[in-house]
Structure 1
Amino acid sequence: MRNKIELKFPPDALFMNPWVDPGFSVLARPEFVWRPMPRTIIEGFPASAHEEMNRKITSFLGVVKKQKVFRKALEFSAVPAVLEKASFRKSYVMASDRLLLSGAAGTRLINRYRWENEDTEFDVDMTLDAYLANCREQNRSRQLPLHSGGLSPDIPFAVECRNTFNFYHFLTEALPQLTLLDGLDFRGNIYFHFPNAEEKHRPFTEAFVETLFPEFAGRVFFERAPKDYERVITAYDFLGGHAQLPEAMLEGIASFAPATVQQEEDILHTRFNANLAMNSVSTMLLKLRSRALAAIEGQEFPHLPKRFFVGRDSRQSRDRHMAGEDQLFEHLSLFDFEYVVFENLHPIEQIALMANAEMMISYHGAGFANMLFANPQAHVIEIGTLQTAQFRWGDFWPLANAAQCRYISFFADFNSEDPLIEPHFAKDSIVPVAISEPAVAQIMAFVVSVLGHVPELNSVNALGRLSRELLQAGSADRAVAVLERHGPLVTEDVELCLLKADCHKDLDEPKSELVALDKAFKADPSRWQTLVRIIWCANRCERPQVIRWAVSRLRSDFPERHAAFVKNHEWVRYIA
C-alpha cells in the first residue's frame, strides 16, 4: 500500500510549489525556461476506404490545424534538482510529502487528479486552475532555491519511469533525464524506479542505457517502486510544472499559439496541458538526440537499409499487426524497401538506421519513438486510424520537432468487424489498423512521388489529392512534377491549375505561378478571385501590362469587386 497515492485532498495539500515549499532546490538555474524553435512538417491525410470515415478524419484534422498547431515549436528547459525526504511512488515523485509536477509525469498527475475528482461536488478544473494561479502569484518575485552546501559524493540520482516495458515512454521520458548529469562529475548510483511487475520489465532499457551512457557502467539499477530517499538528485522539467512558473517567465508563449488562444493565461489552464505538450520539446530530449548521433559518428553501417518498412516481433511487443501489411510491403519492395524489426536490432543499429534513413514506413506503434534519431531529410510515414489521430498522434510531435524530419501520417481504417464504428478507448484500447487496396494505392503514389518517380493517374480527384498531399508535406517540387506529367488533366480543371500556382508560390517561383494563374482563369473565367491573385502576382513579377489587363477584366466582368479592390488598393490606379 506504500505505493498508493491518495488524490482526494485539495491541490494545495497535495502538490509541491518548488519556489516556496521546503525539500526542493536546484543545482543550477537554467539559461532559459522556454524558447521558440523551428516547427517541422507534420501532416496527416485521410486514407479510409469509406467516405463517411474520411469525412470524420478530415474534420478532425481541420480542428487540429485550427486549434492545436503552434506557429513554432517550444523548447522547455530542465535542471537537476535535489529533493529532501523523497519518495518514488508508482510513476510519480514526492518530496517532503508533496507531489512534484515535472515533465510528462506532472501532466499525467494533473490528469489523474482531474479524473479521480470529476464526480466531486467542486469543479475540479476551476479548483486546479485557482491553485496554480495562486502558485504563480506566490512565485511572482521569487527564484527557484539554489542548493547551498555540499553534497555527498555518493548521492544517488533517481528517475521515475512510466513503466519499463513501453519503448516510447522509456526513450522519451526516462532515459533523457540522464543527460542532466553531463558536467556534474556525478559519482553516485543511478536508479530507475518503475511501477510495473518485474516480469514485465524489458531488457531494451538496460541496453539503451549501456549504449548511450557507458560512463555509468556498473552504477545503474532498475528497482520497482516504492523507494524512499533522505536526499536524492532527480530531473526537474519545467514543462509539466509550467503552470506554477511566475507569469513573467511565460510571457510571449501565446504569440506562437493557435489563434484560439488569446492570452498567456489560456495556456496555463489544465485543459490546455496536452495541447502545449504536443507542441513542446524538452531540452533533455534534444540532448539525448545529440548524444545518440555522437555515438554513431564515424561508423559505417552498410548492412542497414535507407528505405524500410518496420514490422513487429510479437514475442517482444504487443501484437497489433496491420491488415493489408503484406500487400503494402509487396509494392514497397519494388522500390528497394526492406523489412525491419526494431526489436531485433542493437540500440546503436536502431539509431544509425534512423540517422541514415531516406524513408521509414510503419503502422502506429511505440517504435516511432526512434524518430528522435532521424535525419532532417527523412520522411517518417505512419499509418494509423482516426483513433490514433485523436489519442496518440500528438505524442510523437515532439520527436519530429526534435529531429526536424518530415512526419507524415495516413489515417486508414480500423481492423474490426465494423470499421465505421469508432472504438471506445477506455474499453478497446488501441485498435489495430487495416488498409484497403485504395489506401495502398494512395500511400504508394505518395511514396514513389517523394522518391522521384511520377505515378500515372487517370482521374482529376486522384491527381488533386496526391498533389495536395505533396504540397502540404513540403514537396512542392514533386507536386509540380506530378502535375506537369498530367498536363491535359490540369489545363481543363481550374482547381488543379490553382493548385499548381500554389506549388510555384511555395517554391518562390512567381513567374511560373503567374502562368498557372492565367491557365486557371482560362479554365474558369467566372472566378474573380483568380483575377485578383493575378494582379498581386503580376505586381511581384513587375508585369504592369498584365496588371492592366487583369484590372480591366475585373472592371468589365466584376464591377463591384473592381470598385472594392481599387478603393482598398489605390496603387492600382497608377498602373491601370
Structure 2
Amino acid sequence: MRNQVDHATAPEALFLDPARDAGVGFVTAPAYWWRLRPAAVIEGFAASGSDAMSTRIEAHLRQVKRHRTFAQVAEFNVVPVLLTGAAFRKSFAMAGGKCLLNGAAGARLLNRFGYEERAGEDAEAVLARYFAGCRAANGAARLPLVAVPQGVDFAVECRNTFNYFHFLTETLPQLTVLDQMDFRGRVFLHFPNHPDKTRAFVRGFVEAVFPELAARLVLERAPKDYASVLSAYSFQWTYFQMPPSVIGSLDGLAPSDLSWHGHGGSRTTRAVLAMNSVESSLLALRTRALRAVAGGDFSHLPKRVYIARAPGQARARAMQGEAALVELLEAFGFVRLAFEDLTPLEQIALMAQAEVVVSAHGAGFANMLFANPKATVIEIGTLQTAQIRGGDFWPLAHASGCRYVSFIADHHSDAPEELPEFVTEGIVPVHLTERGLGRIMAFVAALCGHVPRLNRAEDVARLGGQLLRSGHLTPAEAVLDRHRDLVSGSADLCLMQADLHKAREEWGAELIALYAARQADPTRWQTLAQVLWCARRLGKTEVQVWAIRLLQAEFPDRIAELAKGRDWVQQLL
C-alpha cells in the first residue's frame, strides 16, 4: 500500500503547513501570496426546451451570480521549492511525511478528507479546526529559504497522463516555475495510471511549449521517493492556513456569506475560491504558449470554429442535435474541427486568433487558456455540468480575459427533467432541442453581424440582455435597432436600452430610457429605484425628489429597504 495515504489520519499529521512543518524550503522569498486581477466576463443562459427546466437553470445561474461570483479574482503565486524527504503517491506529493496542499492535487486531498467517515465527528468540522489551529500558530509565519544543491532534479505530480484537461491546466503550468532559476537537471512527471494509457499530447505539448526541457523529460509511474527534489508550490490553499494579518483577506470581494465563509476553509468556500482565482503558473503557461506561436503562419486556421470530438479520441458523449447546429453554424462561416486533429501549436494558434468558438462541454475547454481577450467562447452544457463542473473552466477565462458564455440545454436521458446522478450515470450528454438551438443560434448570428428578426418583445429583450451581459454592446444595439417598432411601449426593451446607455456611461440617455420604461410599466418599483441612482449620478436633485416621492406614494413598503445605510436617501425623505 505504498501508493496510498490514510485519510482518516488527523489533519495535523496528514497535511503539511509550509510555515511550520519540515520538508519544504523556498528557493527565493515569494514576492506575494496573492494579488488581484480583473475577472473575465462569464455568463450563463438557459437553452432548454422545457419551461420547468429553464426555471431550474435560471435559478441556479442567479445563485451563482449572487453568491459565488467575485468582482475581481485572486492570482495566487506559484513558486519553486525544494522538497526533502519527498514522496510522490498516486496523484499527489508529500514532503517530510505529510501531504502537500498544492493546487488541484491539494483540492482533491481536502475534498477526499471531507468525505471520509469519522466516528462521532464531522470531517469538515475537523478540517475547520485544523485550519483555525494553523492560523493561530502562524501569526509570525516566516517561510524557510533554502539553497538549491547541485544536480537536483525537478518533479511534479500528474492526475493522470490521459486526460487533457488535467494535464494542461494542472501539470504543465508547474513547469513554468523553472523560468525563475537556472535549472539543468531532469524533469520528472509522476502519475498513477498504467504507462500504456499515456497520450501523445503529454510529450507533444512539452516539446511545443518547453522545447528546452523535452530531452530531459522523464515520465515515471508513482510511487517515487526522493531525498531531495525541486517542485512547484501554490499558495492557493495556504490562504486558509495563514491568518488575515499575514496573508490578507478576500472577504470584501465575496457577494454574500451564503457560500463564502472567509478563512474557515469549508468545502463551499474552497469551491468559490477555486472559481474566483487563477494561479500565476497558469498565466505563465499562457505567456509561453503564445510566445511559441508568435510569428508563425497559421492563416489556414479559421476565425469561427465549432470544436467537435474526434471519433475514438475523446469520451463518447455525442451531443444530440449536433448535426443541425453545425449545419447552421457553417452558414455563418464556422468550420468544424477537432483539437485532436491539430498539432499543439495549431491548437494554441487557433484559440489565439479565433473570434468565436462553440463546443459542447468537455476537456477541450482547457484550450480557452490560449483565447485572445476579444474572443467569445461558447459552451453548450447541461444543468448537471453547470452544477458539478460549472467553475472548472473559470480560471482559464480569467487567465485569457476572453468572454466565456455557457448555454445550458437539456440532458440526453430517459428522464431529461431529472438531474442525473454523477456517481451512477457519469456525465450525461447534451440534448439540444429545437428551442435551445434557436436561442443559441440567435446569439451566434447576432455576434456575427446578422441579427435575426424576432416577433415578440420578450424574445428581443432576452437576446439583447444576453449580449449586454456578455459584454457585446454593439450587437446588443443592433438587436434594438432591428426591432425599433417593438421598443415603444415595452418596458423590458426600454430597460434594455437604459442598460446599454449605462454600460457606455451615457447617463443622460439612460435616464430618458428609464423614464420611458416607467411610462410603459408603472407597476415596476425597481424602475423608480434605477431612476433614483441615475439621477444621483447626474446630480439632478429634482429628479431624485420626484422618484423618491413616487416610491413613497406607490411603493411605501420598499422605502425602508432603499434607505437602509444610505444617508442621501434619508435626506431626500
TM-score, structure 1 normalization:
0.93
Query: Which residue of 2 is the match for residue 260 of structure 1?
Result: 257
**Correspondence 1:357-372 to 2 at 5 A:** 357-372=354-369
Matched, 1:53 2:53: yes
CA offsets, 1:265-307, max 9 Å, x none? 4453344111111111000000000001111112221100000
| Greater mean deviation of Cα atoms: 497-506 or 422-431 | 497-506
User: Which is worse superposed, 5-14 or 342-351?
Assistant: 5-14
- For the Cα contact (< 8 Å) 2:156–2:231, is it kept in 1? yes
Per the TM alignment, residue 222 of structure 1 is displaced from its structure 2 partner at its CA by 0.8
Q: Does 1:516 align with 2:513?
A: yes
Residue in 2 that maps onto 1:130 = 129
Could you tell me which residue of structure 1 aligns to residue 543 of structure 2? 547
Q: How much does 1:416 deviate?
A: 1.2
Paired letter, 1:467: G
Conserved in 1, the CA contact under 8 Å of 2:131 and 2:264? no
Report the counterpart of residue 114 of structure 1 in structure 2: 114
CA distance in 2, matches of 1:50, 1:555: 37
SS in 1 for 2:215: coil
CA shift digits 1:487-513 (9 cap, x unpaired): 222212222212221221112122322
CA contact (8 A) 1:250 1:264 kept: no
Q: Counterpart amino acid of 1:175?
A: L
1:17 aligns with 2:17: yes
Partner Cα distance (1:7, 1:103) in 2: 18
Q: Which residue of 1 aligns with 2:157?
A: 160
State how far apart, in whole Å, the 2-side matches of 1:45 and 1:551 are: 32
- The alignment status of 1:238 with 2:243, answered yes or no, reads no
- The equivalent of 1:42 in structure 2 is 42
Confirm or deny that 1:325 pairs with 2:325. Answer: no
- Does the residue aligned with 1:452 lie in a helix, a strand or coil? coil
CA gap 1:488/1:163 in 2 versus in 1, 3 angstroms: same
Aligned pairs for 1:206-355 (under 5 A) are 206-260=203-257, 265-266=262-263, 268-355=265-352
Deviation at 1:240, TM superposition (A): 2.8
Residue of structure 2 equivalent to 1:489: 486
The answer to whether 1:476 aligns with 2:473 is yes
Tell me the distance in 2 between the aligned counterparts of 1:548 and 1:105.
54
Secondary structure (helix, strand or coil) at the match of 1:412 reads strand
Match in the other structure for 2:501: 504
Q: Which digits, 9 at most, give the CA deviation of each residue in 1:28-54, with x for residues without a partner?
A: 121000111101100001111111111
Could you tell me which amino acid in structure 2 is paired with residue 233 of structure 1? Answer: L
Is contact 2:259-2:272 (8 Å) kept? no
Aligned in 2, Cα 1:543/1:72: closer, same or farther, shift over 3 Å? closer
Question: Counterpart of 1:48 in structure 2: which amino acid?
Answer: S
Partner Cα separation in structure 1 for residue 255 and residue 17 of structure 2: 29
1:151 aligns with 2:158: no
Offset of residue 252 of structure 1: 2.8
Q: Structure 1 residue 408: deviation in Å?
A: 0.2
Per-residue deviation, 1:241? 3.3
8 A contact 2:352–2:370 mirrored in 1: yes
Q: Write the letter of the residue equivalent to 1:403.
A: S
- Correspondent of 2:194 among 172, 187, 197: 197
Pairwise CA distance, 1:264: 7.2
* CA pair 495-86 structure 1, distance change in 2 beyond 3 A: same
- Residues paired across the two proteins, number: 569
Query: Root-mean-square deviation (CA), in Å?
Result: 2.6
Letter in 2 for 1:517: L
Residue 247 of structure 1 and its aligned partner are, at CA, apart by 3.3
Return closer, same or farther for 1:13/1:432 CA change in 2, 3 Å cut-off. same
Q: What is the DSSP-based 3-state SS (H/G/I as helix, E as strand, rest coil) of the residue aligned with 1:218?
A: helix
- Equivalent position SS for 1:88: strand
Bigger shift: 494-503 or 273-282?
Answer: 494-503
Instruction: Report if the CA contact (8 A) 1:159-1:191 is conserved.
Output: yes
429-438 or 560-569, larger mean C-alpha shift: 560-569
Kept after mapping to 2: 8 A contact 1:251/1:264: no
Counterpart-to-counterpart distance in 2, 1:102 and 1:556: 55
CA distance in 1, matches of 2:316, 2:123: 37
Match of 2:398 in 1: 401
Matched, 1:461 2:458: yes
Please list the CA deviations of residues 282-337 of structure 1 after superposition, one character each: whole Å capped at 9, or x if unmatched: 00000000001111112221100000000011321111111101101111101100
CA distance in structure 2 between the aligned counterparts of 1:510 and 1:47, rounded to whole angstroms: 33
Secondary structure of the corresponding residue to residue 94 of structure 1: strand
Cα deviation digits, residues 112-132 of structure 1 (max 9, x gap): 1121x2353222111111112
Aligned match for 1:416, one of 398, 403, 413: 413
**TM-aligned CA deviation for residue 421 of structure 1:** 1.8
**Per-residue CA shift, 1:549-573, capped at 9, x if unaligned?**
9569949975969999999658879
- Residues 128/571 of structure 1: CA separation in 2 closer, same or farther (3 Å cut): closer
Answer whether contact 1:33 1:249 (CA < 8 A) is retained.
Answer: no
Q: Which residue of 2 aligns with 1:89?
A: 89
User: Which shifted more, 193-202 or 363-372?
Assistant: 193-202
Cα 1:217/1:511, change in 2 over 3 Å: same
Shift of 1:486: 1.0
Change (3 A) 1:532 1:131: closer
C-alpha contact 1:75 1:283 (8 A) present in aligned 2: yes
Give the letter for the 1:290 counterpart.
Answer: T
Contact 2:260 2:269 in 1 (8 A): no
Match of 1:175 in 2: 172
Greater Cα shift, 242-251 or 54-63? 242-251
What one-letter code is carried by the residue in structure 1 that aligns with 2:29?
R
Aligned-partner SS, 2:331 = helix
Letter in 2 for 1:401: H
Alpha-carbon distance in 2 for matches of 1:96, 1:536: 58
Alignment-mate amino acid for residue 155 of structure 1: V
Structure 1 residues 231, 129: closer, same or farther in 2, change over 3 A? same
Q: Is the 8 A contact 2:467 2:475 kept in 1?
A: yes
Quote how far apart the aligned CAs of 1:137 are.
2.0
Distance in 2 between residues matched to 1:268 and 1:113, nearest whole Å: 13
Q: Secondary structure at the match of 1:327?
A: helix
- Cα distance change, pair 492–216 in 1 and its aligned pair in 2 (3 A): same
1:83 alignment partner, SS class: strand
SS in structure 1 of the partner of residue 468 of structure 2: helix
Cα shift readout 1:153-181 (whole Å, capped 9, x = no counterpart): x2110010011111110001000011000
Q: What is the CA-CA distance between 1:452 and the residue it aligns to?
A: 2.1
For 2:33, give the aligned amino acid.
V
Relative to 1, partners in 2 of residues 1:570 and 1:170: Cα closer, same or farther, differing over 3 Å?
A: closer
Is there any run of 5+ residues in structure 1 with no aligned partner, and where?
none
SS in 2 for 1:236: strand
Q: For 1:422-474, what per-residue CA distance to the aligned partner results, in whole angstroms no more than 9, with x for missing partners?
A: 11011111111110111111001111112222110011221121111111111
Give me the whole-angstrom Cα distance separating, in 2, the residues matched to 1:375 and 1:262.
31
CA-CA distance at 1:536 after TM superposition = 5.2
Cα distance in 2, alignment partners of residues 543 and 137 from structure 1: 51
Deviating more after overlay: 207-216 vs 417-426: 417-426
Structure 1 residues 202 and 53: alpha-carbon distance in aligned structure 2, compared to 1, 3 A threshold: same
- Identity rate of aligned residues, in percent? 47
Q: Which amino acid aligns with 2:387?
A: Q
Q: Which moved more, 1:24-33 or 1:535-544?
A: 535-544
* Letter of the structure 2 residue corresponding to residue 57 of structure 1: I
Q: What residue number does 1:98 align with?
A: 98
Post-superposition CA distance 1:244-275 (Å, at most 9, x none) = 23432332311112222799744533441111
- 1:15, distance to aligned residue in structure 2 (A): 1.7
CA distance in 2, matches of 1:572, 1:385: 47
Deviation at 1:533, TM superposition (A): 4.2
Question: Residues of 1 paired with 2:558 and 2:28: CA distance?
Answer: 63
Distance 1:157 1:470, change over 3 A: same
Native 8 Å contact 2:304 2:335 kept in 1: yes
Residue by residue over 1:71-127, the C-alpha shift from the partner in whole angstroms, topping out at 9 and shown as x without a partner, is 211100011111112110000111122111111111100111121x23532221111
